[in-house]
Amino acid sequence: MSQTNTPKPVFLWLVTIGMLMIAVGTVMPMWLPGNLHFMYIYSLGAVLLLIGRLFSPYRGDNARLKRLYRIESWSAIFFCVAAFFLFYEGGTLRDWLAFTLAGGAIQVYTSIMIPRTIAKAQK
C-alpha cells in the first residue's frame, strides 16, 4: 500500500469529529434528560462523518480493502438515517437506536478488519 492511498488530513479530522459528536449525541439523553440539543449534535456529527467518508475513498488495487471502505461509508449513511428519525414525527426511539446500533456494528467490524487486511497485504 502506497502513501497515495492515505486521505487528506482534513477528512480524517471530519471523521474523528463526526464520530465524537455521534457518541456525545447518543449518550447525552442519559446525562441530561429532557434536553433536545442532542438531536442537533448527533445530526451534525452524522453529516460530518458522511462528508469525511465520501471524500476519502480507498484508491488502491486491493478489492477486499475497497469493499471494506465502502462498507464503512454505509455506516455513515446509517447514522444519517438515524438522524432523520430523530426529527421525523412518526419515528420512535427504537428507530433511531436501531440505525445507530447498525451503524456502530458496521463501524466496529470495519475498524477491526481494515487493519488486519492491510497487515495481510503487506506480508
Q: What is the pLDDT of residues 56-70, one digit of tens each?
A: 888 888 899 999 999
pTM higher than 0.85 for the full model? yes
List the domain range (segments joined by +) for residue 25.
Answer: 3-122
Locate 106 and state its grid cell. Answer: 458496521
Distance CA 82, CA 87 (A): 9
Maximum distance among all Cα pairs of the chain, rounded to whole angstroms: 53
At residue 93, the pLDDT reads 80
| Overall number of domains in the chain | 1
